Amino acid sequence: MHFKDKLAAIQKEKKSLLCIGLDPEIEKLPPAIGQRKDAIYVFCREIINATAAFAAAYKINFAFFERFGAEGWQTMEKIAGEIPAGCLSIADAKRGDIGNSAKHYAEAIFGRLGFDAVTANPYMGKDSAEPFLDWKDRAVFFLGLTSNPGAIDFQFFQQNGQPLYAAVAQHVEQWNSTHDNCGLVVGATKSEKLRQIRQIAPGLTFLIPGVGAQGGTVATVLQNIGDSNALISASRSIIYSGSNDDFAEAAAAEARRLQAAMQPFIAC
């Protein structure tokens, strides 16, 4: 099934656009789990089990696993296998390289690990994107306008009066015409730009991080987009909402709260 069809079905069933980011830091895990050899796996598994009823997707941040080398990769593979069929899986890997390298990255993420989508850097252009886009039933979320303060260093650079982030959105919208499997990462903290970017790229699914710990709100994001063709991502505000043995229950409560805030904006 095509990524967008999966997203639409999940949206209709769960009334949710919530993407939960799995960014586990061993130093922040509850004491009862943190001492275990398989601490990160158990923590993420319990978060998934507790929140799956409210989540449309899970986003696994590769950096938090790759720091542990081969063992971390194996843990990530196990966690990817825990994501239920009723949720989408996104590899937050931010890949971007020449075509031959990109082909192998795509095979690893889509073929070996079975993710539904990946985040990618569009800086090297269309030929670096095509090996990912050739997986027609998967989605690629290209970095558009990110939520970090350093976004201003390059993403607002202007040429002929157009900022770089707008040019990226325009190009990705064009790439999307082939297989309809492109998306765009737009930070929730840049909510004043969301309306502009949606006008440039009406066909793209937005992946929107920055809700919760970074200060973005569901209502502001969805009011500016003007539609529900999006996944709104929250990580720390959910997975670290509790620091004791009840961490999974606390995560479920925060996921439920965010999902409820999305329901009035979802057209089903």
Domain ranges for the chain: 3-265
Contacts of 107 (CB under 8 A, 6+ apart): none
**Mean pLDDT across the stretch 82-90?**
97
Q: Where are the beta strands (DSSP E) in the chain?
A: 18-22, 57-61, 88-95, 117-120, 139-145, 158-159, 162-163, 182-186, 205-208, 230-234
Active-site positions?
A: 94
For residue 17, the one-letter residue type is L
- Separation CA 186–CA 172 (nearest Å): 13
Query: What's the pLDDT score for residue 212?
Result: 63
CA distances (Å), 134 to each of 33, 90, 112, 220, 231, in order?
A: 40, 17, 16, 34, 22
pLDDT above 70 coverage of the chain, percent: 98
- Domain 3-265 -> CATH class: alpha beta
Residue in 6, 47, 72 with CA at minimum distance from that of residue 254: 47
Phi and psi based region of residue 125 (left: phi greater than 0; alpha: psi -120 to 50; beta: remaining): left
Kindly report, residue by residue over 111-127, the tens digit of the pLDDT.
Answer: 999 999 999 999 999 99
Kindly report, residue by residue over 185-217, the tens digit of the pLDDT.
Answer: 999 877 789 999 999 999 999 999 987 656 678
Query: What's the pLDDT score for residue 213?
Result: 56
- Separation CA 76–CA 65 (nearest Å): 6
Q: What is the largest CA-CA distance in the chain?
A: 57
